[in-house]
């Protein structure tokens, strides 16, 4: 097979089908709308159902209902849509619902620049729900990675019974790129662990806090329960403080324990370098060019590119920080992921943010100039 | 599944129903239970969906599947469950509060005719949060947020659902002797069905408004709302239609545009090309084919477009990067080639033109007045040439001319791409346009 000239949004829809996605609900919003178009077009012929909901709240509601009835559900929106998804993201978290949420980021806040790119929703994603539970968020840098990470997002969501975010960007979503999707190596497809017939199904049963409770789908062999309220392992409302704490500990422990498995990143370390660029998303491609330029000019510089943003790949970041005196963190926001780096660097390293939200990409030269590498 | 016969679908496993003495929710949940007994369904095939409000405490008292969601969103979960598994019997129980906050879901489920049943426990106020007024609080009604009486009018839920296209709508009171039969009938409706059940909130609305059983009936009269069937107009259920129209449709598969290199190229470095024109000049699709032609010549390519939200107006600008190597940075800070095809495109590029270095080549339509720039400007009859073949092929004329100027890959790669990726009738014209553009003297 050869290459195709593809946009990121189409790659996402293709990967979803490949991952076994058989339910989509979404509401139009630039720059994510073409995912809605592709899914509604392709799902019926692939054993699935696609529907345009009346708003973003219903998009999430449909997906949660369908996911709990056994479907692999996908929804796609942009930042303003995530604002409306928020309460249902909380529900999907407390209900341990596998599903994938694509956020094609655009410049914000509010309506912002609807057709322009940004990466301003990182910490919004991290703390998207009341109560502040851990989230899983992946961020592709290219059309090929949009394909790969969408597929992996479905696997993680099923494996860990959790909503997974794909944080992409108008700049990937709507930029065509020559790409060979068949070159991308994908892991085997993961489907949720399901419970066969049992005398008494316990919807959130775990022994160790880190266990992922297997699911009995609504309409499956057992009576299923699901609730937005604080509940016990049986999905019954509870007011018992130790039970409540145990459930909260479980939601956190489950994702914390998965951090290693979910950590996706790329290292490009140079022997003797004391400067490191940590980047993600579309900006990591500028960082890559910046690294090449700097090295050409005789500078020593290492790079760490994160594909997983949350849970923060702490081990990888700590390793990359070894022997480093200066870290450069370019971001298409006013400094969000840099907070995680600062937290992990504990004041031992000089940290320089390269930040811009004027809708244009951060250029390699801007990274070099502000990072003191030019 | 054959269900064993159940005498009740309720359980006291989680204790007795938590409702206040005299609350209508007792009557409604019991009527629903009797309705399920009548229907003799397997509890595993039934989902009771609730949301926030006192009535939302009822789902766990049933032996069926139970789904308890966020305030006013139960219809959306019910729809998701039903779409995913049309064989499920989905009963959504919602209060008048939920009907207010989730009003759009009520309108849309009625309009779509998704086969769920909505049972509304309508007691004219928010019992769970202290008796505030809701969308169904009658005019003059006293609540904690209408201390001098309600100056708003009540929403007629039945008329609202009917206007939105609901196929089956019924108004009842919790005191009706046949309430279980009515609910059972609603559940049997293949499409969306709603029962609006008027009842008493003995904690708040009843004492504040001296509303008892008899007054409930006079209230109906006062509001001008009648009891009984409001709508019975069966029409095909959503999932049925979906299966028929969408799943049944012939595969409308997008052709995969897979490209294997078959032409040489002479490109040494990453090259940025901006094509600036106007709406209706096919800038976007022409740039895509050019990118595919570059790929046919073994090059990498990226393309991004800029145009107004109102797509048939104003500028249309495509930024193409072609390169012998992988393209990382996808912005064009300084273009190597700038193609100007219309006044709108020129206006959009004004700021760039001022900053262009001498190494940049501008290929502009001869009719455009180009401001002073250090770049080398080639003024060519793109518009005039395209008009001889097809006005919409102006971009192809210009890009073919760029191929001549740059020699980055052969014209044949472009004509092959046009032939491969465009409809035959269009390709015939664009290939002619490409040849004419290539023949222009640059």
Asked, for residue A43, whether it belongs to a domain, the answer is yes
Q: Would the CB atoms of A360 and B251 count as touching at under 8 Å?
A: no
Asked, for residue B263, whether it belongs to a domain, the answer is no
Average pLDDT, chain B: 96
**B158 and B239 together in one domain:** yes
Q: Which of A183, A213, A238 is the last residue of a domain?
A: A183
Asked, for residue A252, whether it belongs to a domain, the answer is no
**B89 and B141 together in one domain:** yes
Please state, in angstroms and rounded to a whole number, the distance separating the CA atoms of residues B350 and B373: 10
Asked, for residue B370, whether it belongs to a domain, the answer is yes
pLDDT digits (tens, 9 = 90+) for B339-361: 999 999 999 999 999 999 999 99
Whether residue B87 lies within 8 A of chain A, CB to CB, comes out as: yes
At A21, list the tokens.
């996605």
Asked, for residue B226, whether it belongs to a domain, the answer is yes
pLDDT value at residue A349: 97
Asked, for residue B422, whether it belongs to a domain, the answer is yes
Residues B71-80: what's their mean pLDDT? 98
Domain assignment of residue B167, given as a range: 24-246
Q: Identify the sign of the CA torsion A8, A9, A13, A14.
A: negative
Asked, for residue A188, whether it belongs to a domain, the answer is no
pLDDT over 60 at B272, yes or no: yes
CB A95 within 8 A of CB A61: no
| B430 CB-contact burial (10 Å; exposed 0-12 / middle 13-18 / buried 19+) | buried
CATH code of residue B310: 3.40.920.10
User: Which residue in A65, A203, A362 has the most chain B C-beta atoms within 10 A of its own C-beta, making it the best mutation to test that interface?
Assistant: A65
Q: Identify the sign of the CA torsion A323, A325, A328, A329.
A: positive
**B191 and B290 together in one domain:** no
Q: Which of B229, B246, B263 is the last residue of a domain?
A: B246
pLDDT value at residue B442: 75
DSSP secondary structure, B95-164, as one string:
EHHHHHHTHHHHHHHHHHT-S-EEEEEE-SEETTTTSEE-TTPPTT--BTTBTT---SPPP-HHHHHHHT
Domain assignment of residue A344, given as a range: 265-370
Q: What are phi and psi of B59, to 5 degrees?
A: -60, -40
pLDDT value at residue A209: 98
Please state, in angstroms and rounded to a whole number, the distance separating the CA atoms of residues A217 and A221: 8
Asked, for residue A340, whether it belongs to a domain, the answer is yes
Question: How far, in Å, are A69, A263, A305, B72 from residue B129 at the CA level?
Answer: 31, 44, 49, 14
Q: In DSSP terms, which residues pair with B198 in a beta bridge?
A: B122, B173
pLDDT digits (tens, 9 = 90+) for B285-295: 999 999 999 99
pLDDT over 80 at B387, yes or no: yes
Question: How far, in Å, are A48, B84, B86, B113, B197 from residue B190 at the CA level?
Answer: 21, 16, 10, 9, 20
CB B88 within 8 A of CB B82: yes
**A9 and A144 together in one domain:** yes
pLDDT value at residue A1: 67
**B65 and B208 together in one domain:** yes
* pTM, to two decimals: 0.97
What is the percent of chain B where pLDDT is above 90? Answer: 95
User: Which residue in A59, A61, A130 has the most chain B C-beta atoms within 10 A of its own C-beta, making it the best mutation to test that interface?
Assistant: A61
Q: Would the CB atoms of B304 and A4 count as touching at under 8 Å?
A: no
pLDDT over 60 at B253, yes or no: no
If contacts are CB pairs under 8 Å, which of residues 298-357 in chain A contact chain B? none
Residues B98-104: what's their mean pLDDT? 98
- Using alpha carbons, select from B230, B239, B155, B229 the residue that is nearest to residue B191: B239
* Residues with Cβ within 8 Å of residue B66, at least 6 apart in sequence: A224, A225, A226, A227, A235, B47, B48, B50, B59, B60
Residues B110-120: what's their mean pLDDT? 98
Please state, in angstroms and rounded to a whole number, the distance separating the CA atoms of residues A240 and A230: 10
Asked, for residue A55, whether it belongs to a domain, the answer is yes
Nearest chain A Cα distance for residue B330, angstroms: 8
Q: Which of A183, A217, A246 is the last residue of a domain?
A: A183
Asked, for residue A192, whether it belongs to a domain, the answer is no
**B185 and B277 together in one domain:** no
Total number of domains constituting chain B:
2
pLDDT over 70 at B251, yes or no: no
Asked, for residue B53, whether it belongs to a domain, the answer is yes
Please state, in angstroms and rounded to a whole number, the distance separating the CA atoms of residues B89 and B190: 10
Whether residue B1 lies within 8 A of chain A, CB to CB, comes out as: no
Residues B39-58: what's their mean pLDDT? 97
Q: Which of B246, B279, B302 is the last residue of a domain?
A: B246
Asked, for residue B234, whether it belongs to a domain, the answer is yes
**B139 and B238 together in one domain:** yes
Total number of domains constituting chain A:
2
**B230 and B354 together in one domain:** no
Q: What are phi and psi of B348, to 5 degrees?
A: -65, -25
pLDDT over 80 at B248, yes or no: no
**B299 and B332 together in one domain:** yes
pLDDT value at residue B254: 59
**A274 and A168 together in one domain:** no
Please state, in angstroms and rounded to a whole number, the distance separating the CA atoms of residues B173 and A233: 37
Whether residue B340 lies within 8 A of chain A, CB to CB, comes out as: no
pLDDT value at residue B2: 54
What confidence category does residue B8 fall into, taking pLDDT thresholds of 50, 70 and 90? very high
pLDDT value at residue B250: 67
Asked, for residue A304, whether it belongs to a domain, the answer is yes
CB A331 within 8 A of CB A309: no
pLDDT value at residue B257: 82
Angle CA B353–B355–B357, to nearest 5: 95
**B198 and B304 together in one domain:** no
CATH code of residue A348: 3.40.50.920
DSSP secondary structure, B207-253, as one string:
HHHT--HHHHHHHHHHHTPPPEEEEE-----HHHHHIIIIITSPP-P
Asked, for residue A15, whether it belongs to a domain, the answer is yes
**B153 and B290 together in one domain:** no
pLDDT value at residue B74: 98
**A56 and A164 together in one domain:** yes
- Per-residue pLDDT for chain A (374 aa), expressed as one digit of tens each? 689 999 999 999 999 999 999 999 999 999 999 999 999 999 999 999 999 999 999 999 999 999 999 999 999 999 999 999 999 999 999 999 999 999 999 999 999 999 999 999 999 999 999 999 999 999 999 999 999 999 999 999 999 999 999 999 999 999 999 999 999 999 999 999 999 999 999 999 999 999 999 999 999 999 999 999 999 999 999 999 999 999 999 999 999 999 999 999 999 999 999 999 999 999 999 999 999 999 999 999 999 999 999 999 999 999 999 999 999 999 999 999 999 999 999 999 999 999 999 999 999 999 999 999 98
pLDDT value at residue B279: 94
What confidence category does residue B330 fall into, taking pLDDT thresholds of 50, 70 and 90? very high
pLDDT over 80 at B335, yes or no: yes
Q: Which of B246, B263, B297 is the last residue of a domain?
A: B246
CATH code of residue B33: 3.40.50.970
What is the percent of chain B where pLDDT is above 70? Answer: 98
Taking contacts as CB-CB distances below 8 angstroms, the residues of chain A near B328 are: 285-286, 288-289
- Cβ-count burial B198-237 (b if 16+ within 10 Å, e if not): bbbbbbbbbebbebeeeebeebbeeeebebeebbeeeeeb
* Residues with Cβ within 8 Å of residue A203, at least 6 apart in sequence: A213, A215, A216, A224, A225, A226, A233, A234, A235
What confidence category does residue B252 fall into, taking pLDDT thresholds of 50, 70 and 90? low
If contacts are CB pairs under 8 Å, which of residues 229-258 in chain B contact chain A? 242, 246-247, 249, 251-254, 256-258
**B70 and B183 together in one domain:** yes
pLDDT over 80 at B401, yes or no: yes
Residue given tokens 């720059």 in the structure block: A31
Q: Which of A168, A183, A198 is the last residue of a domain?
A: A183
DSSP secondary structure, B57-75, as one string:
GSGGGBSSEEEE-STT-HH
**B150 and B284 together in one domain:** no
């Amino acid at each position: 097979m050869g290459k195709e000239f593809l946009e990121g949004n189409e790659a996402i829809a293709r990967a979803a089908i490949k991952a076994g996605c058989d339910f989509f609900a979404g509401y139009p919003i630039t720059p994510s709308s073409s995912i809605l178009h592709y899914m509604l077009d392709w799902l019926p012929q692939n054993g699935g159902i696609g529907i345009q909901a009346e708003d973003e709240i219903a998009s999430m509601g449909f997906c949660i209902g369908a996911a709990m009835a056994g479907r692999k559900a996908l929804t796609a929106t942009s930042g303003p849509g995530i604002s409306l998804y928020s309460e249902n993201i909380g529900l999907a978290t407390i209900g341990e619902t596998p599903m994938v949420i694509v956020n094609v980021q655009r410049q914000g806040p509010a309506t912002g620049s609807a057709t322009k790119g940004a990466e301003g929703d990182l910490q919004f994603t991290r703390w998207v729900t009341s109560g502040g539970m851990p989230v899983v968020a992946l961020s592709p840098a290219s059309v090929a990675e949009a394909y790969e990470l969408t597929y992996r997002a479905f696997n993680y969501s099923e494996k860990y019974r959790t909503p997974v975010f794909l944080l992409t960007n108008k700049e990937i979503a709507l930029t065509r790129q020559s790409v060979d999707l068949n070159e991308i190596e994908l892991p085997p497809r993961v489907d949720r662990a399901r419970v066969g017939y049992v005398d008494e199904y316990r919807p959130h049963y775990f022994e160790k806090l880190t266990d992922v409770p297997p699911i009995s789908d609504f309409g499956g062999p057992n009576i299923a329960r699901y609730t937005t309220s604080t509940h016990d392992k049986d999905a019954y409302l509870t007011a018992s403080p130790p039970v409540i704490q145990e459930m909260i500990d479980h939601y956190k422990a489950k994702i914390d324990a998965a951090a290693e498995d979910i950590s996706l990143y790329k290292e490009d370390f140079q022997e003797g370098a004391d400067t490191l660029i940590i980047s993600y998303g579309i900006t990591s491609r500028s960082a890559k060019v910046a690294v090449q330029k700097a090295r050409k000019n005789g500078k020593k510089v290492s790079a760490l590119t994160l594909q997983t943003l949350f849970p923060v790949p702490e081990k990888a970041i700590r390793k990359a920080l070894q022997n480093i005196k200066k870290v450069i963190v370019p971001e298409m926001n006013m400094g969000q992921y840099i907070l995680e780096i600062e937290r992990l660097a504990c004041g031992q390293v000089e940290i320089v943010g390269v930040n811009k939200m004027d809708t244009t990409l951060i250029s390699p030269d801007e990274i070099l100039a502000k990072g003191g590498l030019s | 599944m054959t269900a064993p016969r159940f005498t009740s679908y309720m359980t006291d496993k989680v204790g007795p129903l938590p409702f206040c003495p005299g609350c209508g929710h007792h009557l409604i949940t019991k009527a629903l239970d009797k309705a399920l007994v009548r229907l003799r369904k397997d509890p595993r095939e039934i989902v009771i969906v609730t949301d926030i409000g006192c009535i939302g405490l009822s789902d766990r008292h049933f032996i069926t599947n139970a789904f308890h969601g966020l305030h006013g969103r139960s219809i959306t979960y019910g729809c998701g469950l039903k779409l995913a598994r049309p064989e499920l019997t989905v009963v959504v129980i919602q209060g008048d509060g939920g009907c207010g906050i989730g009003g759009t879901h009520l309108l849309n489920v009625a309009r779509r005719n998704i086969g769920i049943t909505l049972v509304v426990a309508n007691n004219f106020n928010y019992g769970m949060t202290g008796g505030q007024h809701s969308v169904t609080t009658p005019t003059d009604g006293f609540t904690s947020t209408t201390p001098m009486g309600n100056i708003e009018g009540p929403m007629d839920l039945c008329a609202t659902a009917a206007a939105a296209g609901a196929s089956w709508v019924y108004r009842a009171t919790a005191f009706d002797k046949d309430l279980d039969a009515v609910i059972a009938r609603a559940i049997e409706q293949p499409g969306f069905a709603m029962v609006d059940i008027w009842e008493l909130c003995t904690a708040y609305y009843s004492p504040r408004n001296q509303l008892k059983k008899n007054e409930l009936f006079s209230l109906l009269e006062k509001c001008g709302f009648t009891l009984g069937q409001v709508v019975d107009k069966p029409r095909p259920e959503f999932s049925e239609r979906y299966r028929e129209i969408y799943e049944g449709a012939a595969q409308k598969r997008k052709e995969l545009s897979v490209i294997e290199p078959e032409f040489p190229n002479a490109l040494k470095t990453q090259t940025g090309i901006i094509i600036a024109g106007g709406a209706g000049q096919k800038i976007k699709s022409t740039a895509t084919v050019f990118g595919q032609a570059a790929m046919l010549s073994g090059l990498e390519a990226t393309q991004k477009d800029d145009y107004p939200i109102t797509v048939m107006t104003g500028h249309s600008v495509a930024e193409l990067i072609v390169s012998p190597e992988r393209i990382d940075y996808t912005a064009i800070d300084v273009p190597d080639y700038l193609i100007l095809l219309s006044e709108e495109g020129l206006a959009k590029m004004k700021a760039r033109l001022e900053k262009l270095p001498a190494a940049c080549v501008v290929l502009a339509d001869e009719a455009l007045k180009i401001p002073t720039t250090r770049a080398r400007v080639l003024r060519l009859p793109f518009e005039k040439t395209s008009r001889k073949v097809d006005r919409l092929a102006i971009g192809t004329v210009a890009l073919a001319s760029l191929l001549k100027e740059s020699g980055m890959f052969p014209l044949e790669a472009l004509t092959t791409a046009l032939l491969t990726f465009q409809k035959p009738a269009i390709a015939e014209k664009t290939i002619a346009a490409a040849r004419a553009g290539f023949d222009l003297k640059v």
